[in-house]
């Protein structure tokens, strides 16, 4: 069987690499801005005769999904959840966070394509077909992170927070728990954006390890311990839940994909290194 044709030996200068990277980053930024504008203005229903864009509807949808109408707190009482209205400035802040999330979702395929195009010249021909799947994995990882944050992590964290909240409820409120929409929606939007970006790390790490950009030997047992500790610390920072449940949920959700990606990336990276060494020996012998 014929040996795989190695990547081109012609290497670009450092400035050429930087110039190409700047061009691709500029394309990603433009795609982000366009996606944010287009997705924000998509009709999301109507209020009477008025046009309602997605950017104004999204916070209400997130709040309705995340916060229950009633909750049984740890003190044994059932509380009805009522909404404290946000001020005008808080509404603008929420919408800006929603714009960031929509822009990131819409521009994810363009970002993946530009990143793949940047590393493509360094790949073997038989690796390029596999690397094209990177675009799909990149987008799916981001979307899964957003989905996980909004539909799994946020409801669990918010519910636990509300269960712990009754000692802070004023006595004259009775069994009514007032929740400010801006604080809940702002937290969920930031959590979704953070999870979307963080779930990209396993894909990026796999690519860096599998294609020899990062030395596989850098990720030994000690490095994995630090990654685990870092995941837990990051989970504690992202989650406001004082019970520790949110920290564990977020921490393990970040660590497990990283562990799998590093294990598989190291294996493929070492195989790639062995192939390069065999080719070098073959060229030297001939």
Q: 138 pLDDT band (50/70/90 cuts)? A: confident
Strands 50-53 and 70-72: unpaired
Q: 2 pLDDT band (50/70/90 cuts)? A: very low
Q: Which residue has the higher pLDDT, 63 or 119?
A: 63
Mean pLDDT, rounded, for 35-53: 78
Residue 83: left (phi > 0), alpha (psi -120 to 50), or beta? beta
Residue 132, pLDDT > 70, answer: no
Q: pLDDT of 65-86, one tens digit each?
A: 888 888 887 777 787 887 776 6
Average pLDDT, the chain: 78
Q: Which residue has the higher pLDDT, 56 or 238?
A: 56
Strands 78-84 and 70-72: antiparallel
Query: Residue 258 burial (CB < 10 Å; 0-12/13-18/19+)?
Result: buried
- Interatomic CA distance for residues 63 and 49, integer angstroms: 24
Q: pLDDT of 90-128, one tens digit each?
A: 778 888 888 888 898 898 888 888 887 777 776 666 666
pTM of the model: 0.70
Q: pLDDT of 217-267, one tens digit each?
A: 788 788 888 888 888 887 777 766 666 777 787 788 888 888 888 888 888
Mean pLDDT, rounded, for 26-30: 92
What pLDDT does residue 279 have? 73
């Amino acid at each position: 069987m014929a040996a795989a044709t190695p990547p081109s030996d012609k290497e670009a200068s450092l400035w050429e690499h930087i110039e190409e990277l700047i061009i691709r980053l500029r394309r990603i930024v433009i795609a982000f801005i366009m996606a944010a504008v287009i997705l924000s203005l998509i009709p999301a229903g109507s209020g009477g005769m008025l046009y309602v864009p997605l950017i104004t509807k999204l916070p209400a949808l997130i709040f309705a999904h995340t916060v229950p109408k009633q909750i049984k707190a740890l003190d044994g009482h059932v509380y009805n959840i009522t909404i404290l209205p946000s001020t005008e400035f808080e509404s603008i802040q929420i919408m800006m966070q929603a714009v960031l999330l929509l822009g990131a979702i819409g521009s994810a395929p363009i970002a993946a394509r530009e990143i793949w195009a940047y590393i493509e010249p360094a790949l073997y021909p038989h690796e390029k077909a596999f690397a094209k799947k990177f675009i799909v994995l990149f987008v799916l990882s981001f979307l899964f992170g957003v989905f996980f944050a909004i539909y799994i992590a946020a409801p669990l964290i918010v519910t636990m927070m509300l269960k712990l909240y009754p000692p802070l409820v004023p006595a004259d409120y009775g069994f009514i728990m007032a929740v400010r929409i801006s604080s809940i929606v702002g937290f969920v939007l930031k959590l979704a954006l953070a999870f979307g970006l963080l779930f990209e790390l396993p894909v990026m790490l796999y690519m860096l390890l599998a294609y020899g950009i990062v030395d596989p030997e850098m990720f030994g047992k000690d490095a994995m311990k630090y990654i685990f500790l870092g995941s837990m610390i990051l989970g504690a920072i992202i989650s406001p839940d004082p019970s520790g449940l949110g920290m564990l949920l977020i921490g393990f959700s970040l660590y497990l994909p990283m562990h799998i990606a590093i294990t598989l990336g190291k294996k493929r990276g070492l195989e790639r290194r062995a192939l390069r060494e065999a080719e070098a020996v073959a060229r030297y012998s001939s």
